[in-house]
Structure 1
Amino acid sequence: MHPDVTADLESLDATLTTVEKVLDLEELRRRIDELEMQASDPDLWNDQDHAQKVTSELSHAQSELRKVSELRQRLEDLPVLYELADAEEGDDKVAALADADGERESLRTDIQAMEVKTMLAGEYDSRDAVVNIRSGAGGVDAADWAQMLMRMYIRWAEQKGYGVEVYDTSYAEEAGLKSATFAVKAPYMYGTLSVEQGTHRLVRISPFDNQSRRQTSFAEVEVLPVVETTDHIDVDENDIKVDVYRSSGPGGQSVNTTDSAVRLTHIPTGIVVTCQNEKSQLQNKASAMRVLQAKLLDRKRQEERAELDALKGDGGSSWGNQMRSYVLHPYQMVKDLRTGVEDNNPTSVLDGELDKFIEAGIRWRMATAEA
């Protein structure tokens, strides 16, 4: 093998070894055995929420172990590929070397993606995520943009096999969404998606403008960790105003004949949460309460962070504001304003190809925290 290839394989081995140490494969295997025992308990599904948590954590742990084991096997196979390529001659040798180089680059990408996951060590990073999307400046284009963003995140989640539960969709009059709230249910979703929080900007020829003028519109993405019982977020029923109404679809049309949609107003803070996607008023109220608790937890965290920032005298962090531009006209580009990562294929990004932006965001966040 060429010395440069040997040095590169040694570098990849060092990175993968670090990943294996951080994941603690021995502990991961022990945890899988423990979860498999819990999952085989016939009484597990008596508590559906607990059962889903156990099976989700088990699936995630098995997937992590399988991925890192496959990466190790691929790394061990690479020198063999180069040896076989060296044994060839002429065009066959060129083709075999190209295949080996291609596998090396693919392996580098996959090891780096695994390395990023080991950076999710924040207090709430391992939680499910609640995502709120709100249309901003830009009128009907902004409402349409909010709906495009919701589709982008849901496609990203579904492509990876993550569960998605839509709590609320508030439709705009002409097209698109005023707001939407949904949960992405898989371990480490909050840590992963929290780097997507901020203002997303779209530039395109407006499909709603009969003069086909260029329009800039904005939507806001908020990402919250799902609240667990250990968080001690207690909500006094006397502090909540509950309103019920009929669920509405696009154009304001009623989509059912009973008052099943629920709006919760938390009187002390003024936080308002709505949920209308479940069949019963009771289910909608329970879902709305989960979102309200997540918002109250986030408010508590922000207050604690503000106190720490005041003590540090650094004025706090504003990285979550302007964060990404999606330009469809006069040229095609998606650019992250924090990391500088670009993609010249907005269609694929809007279809859920977000990994490189998310991975770069996690690395950027870690570097910023260490600075």
Structure 2
Amino acid sequence: MAAEYAVMNTSATANLKFHPPTRKANVSLPPPGTTKPVHCSTTTPAPSHSMDTKNHAYKQLGLFSLKKKIEDTIAQAEMLEPALELEQARCVKQETNIRGCNLWNDPVKSNEILGKLADSVKVVDALKDLKYKLEEAKLISQLADKEVINYQLFKEAYSASVDVSKFLCQYGMSKLLKGPYDLEGACVIIQAGEGVDSKIWTEELQTMYMKWAKKLGCGGRVVEKNSCTNGGIHSATIEFEYECAYGYLSGERGIHYKINSPSGSVHHEVSSACVDVVPLFLGTVLDVQFSDDDLIIASPLCDKGKSKRDPAVLLEHIPTGISVQSSGERSSFANKMKALNRLKAKLLVTAEEQKVWDVREIRREHIMDVWKNETRRYVWHPHKLVQDLKTGIHLPDLNSVLNGNIEALIEAHINLRNEQ
């Protein structure tokens, strides 16, 4: 088994930011074609040495913090064993209830029951996969700790622990999502403010959300993008077609400011972009009723260089003044249907915010204007800082946030919603 894990899978570890220490050591390499692990003769503790001696060797080799992260992740994951048992029991109970129901008599109720069962099965499968990854990380870590300190085994153990850590984060946050649409997908619309810098800033925000989705392992799809001739974009629409995306991203709604103060200047250069988020319903038919007389169907104003036959469609709901558009499809009819779904989703969210049961009860004067709701400031100079105005969180690593590491901000928004 040790020989099996000593074979390094380069494709699985290509993205790891782990580098062996530059400190020199007497290394005996195995002959080509063998799987004998690498022996570090100058610092490898003998098996009879104490744990303190071994930890000292880990520190010398630069592996101590890595080993600690693996152990912490394993300890955290082991606490989820009762959760797996609970989810399995819930799944069995749902299957038992289904056997006692006549699903043909009530199609609506049967769809609801089967949907809940499918969700439970997904959670159980995910927890089983987590358990497998956990055992893998533990086994490799133990193999690396036996007789020799092996970099390759530590890399594999770390890779497995990273997968476990990502799942733990997602699983923990998903349990906090309690809104009626939090488990749906998400449609994120980003619009630029005035000026060329705002157009460039809007493109940076689009990149940030795409990087976040990629790191999450789900990805996003840019379905609409209105580019500028002199750089940047006027607007972009991203669809995240996976569960819980709306619950994660709904806190991003509002104005995002980029603030830069040139060296020696007392004036701030401010770029702005507005982010709106609506649910993207996955396999659900929206039951939102309104009259055709309540809609204005038009074509958005065409930019220079665009064909007047652009199939883009703009919809406005007259009673509320809410407007949406779609331009990513090839035909006007397809764009109209997509815009209609976005409008229904927007109306449902607005009704939920105003705590009314019917979209016809929405009060226009109480609708939140995302352009008047400041969410976050990204300060570039004189010091780099991300300030989230809704949660009060300040993050000093601006570049990390723009690279898609927004989990701390998302978790803070979820916790804030649960406190309200």
TM-score (norm 1): 0.66
Q: Closer, same or farther in 2 for the Cα pair 1:111/1:158, shift >3 Å? A: closer
Structure 1 residue 162, shift from structure 2 partner: 3.7
Question: What is aligned with 1:332?
Answer: 384
Structure 1 residue 231, shift from structure 2 partner: 5.0
Q: Which one scores higher on RCO, CA 8 angstroms, separation ≥ 6?
A: 1
2:140–2:157 Cα contact (<8 Å) kept: no
d(CA) in 1 for partners of 2:256 and 2:86? 33
d(CA) in 1 for partners of 2:342 and 2:259? 31
1:260 pairs with 2:260: no
Question: What is aligned with 1:131?
Answer: 188
Q: Closer, same or farther in 2 for the Cα pair 1:321/1:305, shift >3 Å? A: farther
1:247–1:260 Cα contact (<8 Å) kept: no
RMSD value over aligned CA atoms? 4.6
TM-score (norm 2): 0.59
Structure 1 residue 357, shift from structure 2 partner: 3.1
Question: What is aligned with 1:20?
Answer: 84
Structure 1 unmatched runs, 5+: 35-53, 307-316
Q: Closer, same or farther in 2 for the Cα pair 1:13/1:194, shift >3 Å? A: same
| Partner secondary structure for residue 241 of structure 1 | strand
Structure 1 residue 124, shift from structure 2 partner: 1.0
- Counterpart AA for 1:275: S
Structure 1 residue 235, shift from structure 2 partner: 2.7
Per-residue Cα deviation, 1:6-61 (whole angstroms, up to 9, x for no partner): 999665422x1354356547629989xx9xxxxxxxxxxxxxxxxxxx9xx98x98
1:145–1:202 Cα contact (<8 Å) kept: yes
**Greater alpha carbon shift after TM alignment, 287-296 vs 333-342:** 333-342
- Counterpart AA for 1:186: Y
Question: What is aligned with 1:349?
Answer: 401
2:74–2:161 Cα contact (<8 Å) kept: no
Structure 1 residue 263, shift from structure 2 partner: 1.8
Question: What is aligned with 1:293?
Answer: 344
| Partner secondary structure for residue 144 of structure 1 | helix
Question: What is aligned with 2:101?
Answer: none
| Partner secondary structure for residue 352 of structure 1 | coil
Structure 1 residue 364, shift from structure 2 partner: 4.2
1:19–1:118 Cα contact (<8 Å) kept: no
Q: Closer, same or farther in 2 for the Cα pair 1:131/1:82, shift >3 Å? A: closer
Per-residue Cα deviation, 1:238-262 (whole angstroms, up to 9, x for no partner): 11122236754xxx321x3525222
d(CA) in 2 for partners of 1:197 and 1:245? 23
Question: What is aligned with 1:272?
Answer: 323
Question: What is aligned with 2:43?
Answer: none
- Counterpart AA for 1:289: L
d(CA) in 2 for partners of 1:135 and 1:78? 45
- Counterpart AA for 1:330: P
| Partner secondary structure for residue 304 of structure 1 | coil
Question: What is aligned with 1:361?
Answer: 413
Whose helix proportion is higher, 1 or 2? 1
d(CA) in 2 for partners of 1:177 and 1:286? 25
1:112 pairs with 2:169: yes
Q: Closer, same or farther in 2 for the Cα pair 1:68/1:281, shift >3 Å? A: same
- Counterpart AA for 1:269: T
